[in-house]
Amino acid sequence: MKAVNIGILGLGTVGGGVANVLARNRVEIARRAGRDIVVTHAAAREAAQDVNTDGIEISNNAFAVVNDPSIDVVVELIGGYEPARELILQAIANGKHVVTANKALIAIHGNEIFAAAQQQGVTVAFEAAVAGGIPIIKALREGLSGNTIEWAAGIINGTGNFILTEMRDKGRDFADVLAEAQQLGYAEADPTFDVEGIDAAHKLTIIAAIAFGIPLQFEHVYTEGISAIDAADVAYAAHFGYRIKHLGMTRRTDQGIELRVHPTLIPEKRLLANVDGVMNAVLVHGDAVGPTLYYGAGAGREPTASAVVADIVDVVRALTTDPGNRVPHLAFQADALSAIPILDMADVVTAYYLRLQAADRPGVLAMITQILGQHEISIEAMLQKAPSTHEAGVPIVIISHRIRERQMNAAILAIEAQEAILGPVTRIRIESLASD
């Protein structure tokens, strides 16, 4: 049977890894796919030094690859929004299948791209866009297709997880660990996408769409970063038996779909609480299977290449399949996507960790508890520390029971308005991630 010709856009870290894996495992991959898979054309300004480019035509113009009539599958690994979007749409218009690791592009423009692909009868595969080498897309789209997914929660950004792990294990400050992450290559020179949750929000958008059969809606993700997390918060969390993780959370409720990324206290006995360093993990709860955990490398050359090559194999297997019988891009048939609304963050119900500095005088603690009571907020635990010589006021830490966010927002505003409260209240949400 004729070999399947692959065109790669970008031969950098991931693109070079894909080319190497396809060459190194060529025989094994062909045994799985049923056909030989060969990289014949690539677009690259400069290939990574250890990439074997023998037999590969190298072009400076990426459009030369997508317009090459001999190419069957285009693999987009240049990242960003443009020209990646234009290149993918052109490849689709040319009747070519597409594989991409571009989570930002899928989260923002995926609805347009999938509609174009469906019209042309081609596939767009994107396993590597979420959690690197972890096959979470395939698990949600295929392995759990008999379930109603109730919720999914994930540590889906390795940079943020590395920073929080170092802060917990070594008592270091955020800025200090971030600088090391940049030196190690875990964080970009501009780390905003990682530490402010934008990268995780891209991935959560995709997870939620596949889990619940809704359109991609990145613009509705509530996003909060970890740059305001203090070493004291990490220590207090440990005192109460929690660990702080930068969590992506999506949950089906009667009112709508929760879609949120923010720092979260997780009980230290939970599996997700013990995912450390740059590793990723996603916990999915289905009504039939219960909780299932997917753990592994969320980035890196070979782990990401592993997911890209798996997508290529899936596409090759489906080349002779009628388009109507292929696995849908977002798990549900395109005409069966739901209009379930995304829940406003103010309507989310969760427990809370609050830390504040208060003047060291009688009646302040009673005032705080009175305000919480007025907003129907019940306290689960409280810690008041003796003032230190270098601190202004007394640190007070409160763990609340579950309450609607709008009530907590109002209570925090009322507390911060008091003259005895010295500075803003630190608020971190708490999720038990129980399997019930």
Total length of the chain: 436
The answer to whether position 255 is within a domain reads: yes
Which stretches of 134-190 are assigned E, i.e. beta strand?
149-155
191-200, 297-306, 380-389, 399-408, range with the lowest pLDDT:
380-389
Q: What is the per-residue pLDDT for 299? A: 81
Give me 180's structure tokens: 């090391």
Query: Which helix (H) or strand (E) is 162 found in, with range?
Result: helix 158-170
28 & 87 share domain:
yes
332 & 199 share domain:
no
Q: What is the per-residue pLDDT for 436? A: 54
327 & 368 share domain:
no
25 & 118 share domain:
yes
Per-residue pLDDT of 252-266, as tens digits, reads 999 999 999 999 999
353/429 Cα distance (integer angstroms): 6
Per-residue pLDDT of 194-226, as tens digits, reads 999 999 999 999 999 999 999 999 999 999 999
Residue 358 has a CB neighbour count (10 Å cut-off) of: 22
Q: Give counts: helices (H), strands (E), the chain.
A: 14, 17
pLDDT higher than threshold 70 for residue 280: yes
| Tokens 């019988």 belong to residue | 325
The answer to whether position 140 is within a domain reads: yes
358 & 314 share domain:
no
The answer to whether position 236 is within a domain reads: yes
Q: What is the per-residue pLDDT for 370? A: 97
64 & 106 share domain:
yes
143 & 272 share domain:
yes
The answer to whether position 341 is within a domain reads: no
What domain range includes position 80? 4-133+301-336
In percent, the amount of the chain with pLDDT more than 70 equals 98
Give me 121's structure tokens: 């009868």
Q: What is the count of structural domains for the chain?
A: 3
Give me 336's structure tokens: 């069966």
177 & 271 share domain:
yes
Q: What is the per-residue pLDDT for 102? A: 95
- What CATH number is given to the structural domain containing 314? 3.40.50.720
161 & 86 share domain:
no
pLDDT higher than threshold 90 for residue 331: no
Cβ-Cβ contacts under 8 Å for 2 (sequence gap 6 or more): 35
Q: Label residue 390 by pLDDT band (50, 70, 90).
A: low
The answer to whether the beta carbons of residues 411 and 352 sit under 8 Å apart is no
| Tokens 């396993």 belong to residue | 127
Q: Using alpha carbons only, what angle is made at residue 115 by residues 114 and 117, rounded to the nearest 5 degrees? A: 60
Rg (C-alpha) for the chain, rounded Å, is 24
132/225 Cα distance (integer angstroms): 21
pTM of this prediction?
Answer: 0.93
* Catalytic annotation, residues: 203
- Which of 297, 324, 356 represents a domain boundary (last residue)? 297
Mean pLDDT of 141-170: 95
In percent, the amount of the chain with pLDDT more than 90 equals 83
